[in-house]
Structure 1
Amino acid sequence: EGKNKQQIFDIELMPNWGELTIEATNENTTIRISSKNDKEKLLYEETIHGMKKVELISGEYIAHISKEKYKDQIIEFTIAAQQKLRLNSFELEYKDGILDISSSPTGSIIRVDGQYLGQTPQLVELVPYEEHDLELSSSGHQTINQKIKLEADVILKKDIKLKAKKGLVFISVSPKNAKLYINGQQQKENSGKFNLTGNNVLTVKSKSYQSQSKKIAISSYSKNISFILEKNNSSNTKKSSSNKKINKNALANTNYINSMGQKMIRVEPAIFMMGSKRNEAGRSSNEAEHKIQLSYAFLMSDKEVSNKQYREFRKSHHSGSSANQSLNLDSQPVVNISWNDAAKFANWLSKKESLKPFYIEKNGKMLPQNTNGYRLPYEAEWVLAARGTIQKKYPWSGNYPPGNVVGNYADESASSHIANTIANYNDKYSLTAPIGSYIKNQHGFYDLGGNVSEWCEDYYSPTAGLSANKIAFNPTGPDKGTHRVVRDSSWRDASIREVRLSYRTYSKKKTNDIGFRLVRYAR
């Protein structure tokens, strides 16, 4: 009003928080709440049972629900000022129990509840606290049937010896002077009745004749086995040698170049550590240290998929630009593609190479199936390819920052459009670099550190769910979720937190710094 007059205002402030009600059915359930915009910052943590009310500033949040021996849950929610929001009552599911089974003979077939689960030795994940029917069988041996019940998140070890079956085998051999070998041991007689057990290899040899071998498994009834050797000749010998070479190459499971020109590199089974140590500089809370066992070999492409390669699948794709510079050159890694887009590319390449696709498309979703087709790497596979069996901290040797140019990160050339860059570092590319521009790692992979971040197959979980003294066997992530794991730093990253090999994040949207590479199971 002015004129030196006193004015009185009555102002009532409105609360900018809402009330969240959480109900946990399980005892000792831990609730962790973080902001969706700053997921590394923990805002609330408490162990509860029953109902709990929490006041939160209006905004978007992520709730992580966990309990020992139970599978984690992730819930995203938005709360408005003065809103009363209730998260539906939830009941956590038990983590699987793990059956560590070996046998004599090794390679015995495992069936649980009638379902084939591979061969011994094997780690098998089963629903805990339920009775399961375990069956072990091997040709030439008596089948074993047992009832088993496992505890959640506990490894049960079983080493089972199968008894060899006994049976009669009648053997006849021609020519009469040929020698008979059973499991490498020459027999006094080459024909007649033999009492045998288990699995056996019968071999008959004679000078000037082609040797023959037959594998037999003993059963409860007698068997008649006959050998009629063929005389050697030079053409047959040459043809046989040629066939052996062809068969060997056909069955070989080594590095190869696929139809896109990508080199597929074999990575052997291994036991290794994922995550980071508690005192590691730059460590995030979602990097819990834990042990992994991958019992299978796999093949991973040595480079990220390029724009040129992706446009063979989808000609109209454009990776876009940033800071008035192109991300769309043929040699640059493809970006601005969703997880589904990457999975569809993998299926397309599988069909192109006459492989059974790994994904089934259903209601707009790409669902995995157990095939040998191309797919995205599981997070554990990515880590093994990037770090090996040692807990390597950075993609380079030494400390942070890198002393030499080792990859494409946010460098001095990007300082005009990226706030945080690595000082005194210039990799010559302010956006993405052509794939394979920098030194490869110890396994032969390029850009497992820098250039673009990479989609993984797993749904994201903030915690691994296993401690360092327990082992996760062939982990594939949660059964369902909303976000996928994203691994690797990119051309946008410069901080010690992001450039470490243990750094992990997630996304459900396509961005200009996320691409992908391909994987296949090895045969």
Structure 2
Amino acid sequence: MAASDRPLKPAEFAPISGSKTGSNGPKWPSTRTVAIALVAAALLGVLLFLFNAKSLKVIVQPADSATISLSGGLHLALSDRFLVLESGYQVSITSPGFYPTAIDYQVTEAAAQNLTVALSPLPGEITFAITPPESQLFLDGELFEQRALQLVPGDYQLEARADRYQTHSQLISVIGRGIAETIAIELRPDWSDVTFTSKPEGADVWVDEQFVGTTPITLALLAGERLIRFEKVAYQSKQLSLSVEPETDVIHPLVELEPANGVLQVITEPDGATVRVNQRYHGLTPTSLDLTPNQLSLITITKPGFKPQSFERQLAPGTSRTEMITLSPSLGTIEFEVSPSDAVIYGNGQRLGTGSGVYQLPETAQDITIEKPGYETFSTQVTPRSGLEQTVTTRLLTFAEARRARLLPMVTTSVGGQMTLIDTVGSSEFMMGSSRRDSGRRANETQRTVRLSRAFYIATTETTNQQFRVFDTEHNSGVIAGTSLNRQSQPVVEVSWQRAAQFCNWLSAQEGLPPFYREEGGIVIGFNPESIGYRLPTEAEWEFVSRVHADGIRR
């Protein structure tokens, strides 16, 4: 029979040797067993921590005396590293002279990690001891009233200023870290003591226009260019420029004052006379003369048109005197021959008289005008001379005569045409029209007497193609009997009266003359009879220049 086929039989329980049975329940592990279990658990936990820990190095800048601590999770501090788990930590750093720093840091899965922390230094405790105490303190251009300051580390441009002291400048470097420093500054004087003496003593002293005392005197003058003036009654003032160097005391050489000039005030009637002192030009009256004291001075006064005067004066030092002088006119003779006889004569704007006559005028340039209503004013300049007789002869022209006298016998138009003056004023009447006996006479050419009342210019030749094309560049004069009429020198043809009138207005515009013809929309609608601009000749003007010679003989 196989072993597996054997029948099972109950057997009596037999306890292990040494064990006891009882009825008091289960027994607890012994203390040794528990201790061993706890040590084993701790070792297991340490092994687990070491297995999962990451290395964290905290690099502090600067590193001197820095204390580093971690919180917020399990960690182990080694010599220069921490073993930490992959979790969030707060890193706290303290160091003498720096602000405490706390940083939240998240540990990643990297095995070795670095955290760099730059500490911020505390400000420096800087005390400025500046002499004199009222000085002003500037750091980088900013004014500070306090003398004890907390300054962040760095370089500063320091300036200390005070009235009458040299400005002190220097570059300071602040270390910070709560270190206390004292910077002592003593400003140097910006002045020097200058001693002045004068001969005579007791002269008033002015420095830069400020009165400061009388000589002898010692002054604390600021460095730089100083303007010094010395004054004393009956003496000439003396002025000098002094360059003062700081901290360099000076005894100035003796200042000798000269006796003051005498002052002569010269007034003339009329004023504007030339004054010379000892033959040297001094100026025009009214004027003040500085004369050398206790010496005779020759004063000469001249003015055109007046007799010269001379005199001598001697003044004591520092005295003054006024001379009032009336100049006597020096006259010359001018004879006027004037027509018409009631014309008024003016000299330098003053009415002299009416009509022809002899006048005594001052020997100075005289602007002469002779006037009469309805006549053009005559003007000239003449300078009378004593002993020399001069004559001014004139006949006033009416406005019409004057205008006619200014007319040129020939003028040239802006397009090169020549125009001659036809002056009909004074011409006799002429017979206009044709006699019944004239061949080719028409019924409307009746004879009648005509007189032209004003002068006019008329072209010496017909207007040429060249001249007209300056106005109308596209003009075509055409052809007749197979012959071209477009040569430049030929008279322009194929021009309507309207176009001819527009050409005249265009010529007027070129020369700045008012247009004779009135136009609207390019159409001539009338004319201005008072205009002096270009126009076409009237029938009477054309017949006059065609029939009458210069001597008035009918052609």
TM-score higher than 0.5 here? Answer: no
Q: TM-score, normalised by structure 1?
A: 0.32
Larger radius of gyration: 2
Larger relative contact order, structure 1 or 2 (CA cutoff 8 Å, min sep 6):
1
Greater share of strand = 2
